[in-house]
Amino acid sequence: MKRRGAVPRVLLAALASPGGTCYRHCNRPIRTRRVPSRLPGALFVRACPSGVVSVSVYFEWTRRDPSRSLQSALERWTTPRSLVRWRDLRLATRHGPELGRTAERFLASAHPGRGVRAVYWRVYPFRARDGTERRLFVCLRRSHPHPVFFAASPQATKWECPTCSRRQARRTLRSSG
Ligand SMILES: [Zn+2]
Ligand SMILES: [Zn+2]
């Protein structure tokens, strides 16, 4: 059984994002990864090899606006949660023609007709209180049950994922105690 709102494979293929390189950071190619979540649709994170996020996109095949449910999921996954701002979430509806013939035919056969909802979450580079630049990073370690988003300096030399550091601290404590 497909989950309500799940995006059929044929549409996901058509929605797959283009390439691109990491803007104002390392210029390396950006990878799009689908990340696990309990949301009914499909969530993709586009990030460079160092984890700097260019954009996250959530697709759901529905007529409702899924922005609020995406927002609360992102708030659970982001440190600090104030990084998730309503105005950084943008809703769009993708229709058949722009997705290519196969997807168009598929969408046309759906009753009642509907497009695919896409919610984009983009956090632009910003300045911390001390004036240094911060970027949104993501940690996609398989041991984390969900993506972990956090802000860090693009020049940071150590990995600042809060979940990884917590685990590291616990290990250190155990080995010294
Ligand atoms: Zn980069
Ligand atoms: Zn981590």
CA distance 11 to 72: 25
Environment of ion ligand 2 (residues, CB < 5 A):
139, 141, 161, 163-164
CA distance 9 to 66: 19
Show the tokens assigned to 156: 């940071």
Show the tokens assigned to 9: 């494979």
Question: What ligand is nearest to the CA atom of residue 150?
Answer: 2
- List the chain domain ranges: 9-124
Please name the residues in contact with 61: beta carbons below 8 A apart, sequence gap of 6 or more. Answer: 5, 6, 7, 8, 11, 41, 114, 116, 117
Peptide bond into 80 cis (omega under 30): yes
Question: What ligand is nearest to the CA atom of residue 160?
Answer: 2
Q: What is the pTM of this model?
A: 0.86
DSSP state of 49: T
Tens digits of residue pLDDT in 44-100: 999 999 999 999 999 998 888 999 999 999 999 999 999 999 999 999 988 777 777
Question: What ligand is nearest to the CA atom of residue 142?
Answer: 2
Torsion of CA 74, 79, 81, 86, to 10 degrees: -60
State in Å: Cα 167 to ligand 2 middle: 9
Show the tokens assigned to 137: 């990073």
Tens digits of residue pLDDT in 118-172: 999 999 999 999 999 999 999 999 889 899 999 999 988 899 999 998 877 787 7
Show the tokens assigned to 158: 């150590």
One-letter amino acid for residue 114 of the chain: R
